Amino acid sequence: MKLFAATDGASRGNPGESGIGVIVRNADGEVVLSVSEYIGTTTNNVAEYTALITLLRRMAQVPCTRLEVQSDSELMVRQVNGTYRVKDRKLKEYSAEVQRLRAAAPYEFLLRHVPREQNKEADALANRGIELREQADD
């Protein structure tokens, strides 16, 4: 089964309060998985990687033959796909975890960059993750 996913990380401030959003749909457009979580205070790049790692970890329980993922983080996509070198020490750890999860996955994996306008659903979920934290503080 081919699945389509979108991931996003959001940070209010850089670093700042952060959240992640993940949505996975099947070929019919039905939602198979949806994630909106608060992840604490971190940078936008860490939030982007955390969203992708969360997706890959959750996909361990979802039957799939091909996973096509989109993200509006050009930096992360290019680093994961090997176009850019990962220089930041912390991001190297996240990138290594993505590569480990990809290697262990029983499905074909494709990650591509899309403009922010084409990633609104994952963006809304990431921002909702931050709001969940803010509501808990009220």
Residue 133: predicted pLDDT: 76
The dihedral of CA 92, 87, 16, 50: what is its sign?
negative
Using 50, 70 and 90 to split pLDDT, how confident is the model at 109?
Answer: very high
The fourth-level CATH superfamily of domain 2-137 is: Ribonuclease H-like superfamily/Ribonuclease H (3.30.420.10)
Question: What pLDDT does residue 44 have?
Answer: 97
Per-residue pLDDT of 41-72, as tens digits, reads 999 999 999 999 999 999 998 999 999 999 99
What is the per-residue pLDDT across 77-104, written as a single tens digit (0 to 9) for each? 999 999 999 999 999 999 999 999 999 9
Question: What span, in angstroms and rounded, lies between the C-alpha atoms of 91 and 88?
Answer: 5
Q: Are 37 and 129 in contact (CB under 8 A)?
A: yes
Confidence (pTM): 0.96
Question: What stretches of 1-138 show up as alpha helix (H) in DSSP?
Answer: 44-58, 74-80, 89-104, 120-137
